[in-house]
Amino acid sequence: MIDEQLILSTERLRDDLGELKRNLRRRFPSPGRQVTAEDLKKRAAQLAEGWMVELVPNEEIVQTIGSDLSANLNVHFQRLLSFSEHASTRSRYVI
């Protein structure tokens, strides 16, 4: 059974990812533009690290969503972290 704190953390991550997506689209309207805003890149890195360090190590998450989806999300968040380290184009930030 997943505890309420874990549910809250997951919902907060979902909401923060949505906010990041909106901010990226607002500040970089063209998908081909490079994301050079350090604050957005830092936030993307924080969210990716939050998933990899705080949520996915919890076995309850993997049991609930399944190992295949967990693996796919891990790859997604690793890419998000990688993109945040460079001036990647906005279109690469598929959130």
Report the range out of 5-9, 15-19, 57-61 with the highest average pLDDT. Answer: 15-19
Q: What is the mean pLDDT of residues 30-43?
A: 94
What predicted TM-score, i.e. pTM, was given to this entire model?
0.89
Instruction: Give the model's confidence band at 1: pLDDT under 50 very low, under 70 low, under 90 confident, else very high.
Output: low
Poorest-pLDDT segment among 1-15, 22-36, 38-52, 67-81: 1-15
* pLDDT tens-digit series, residues 41-94: 999 999 999 999 999 998 998 898 999 999 999 999 999 999 999 889 988 887
- b/e string for 45-81 if b means 16 or more Cβ within 10 A? bebbebbbeebbeeeebbeeeeeeeeeebeeebeebb
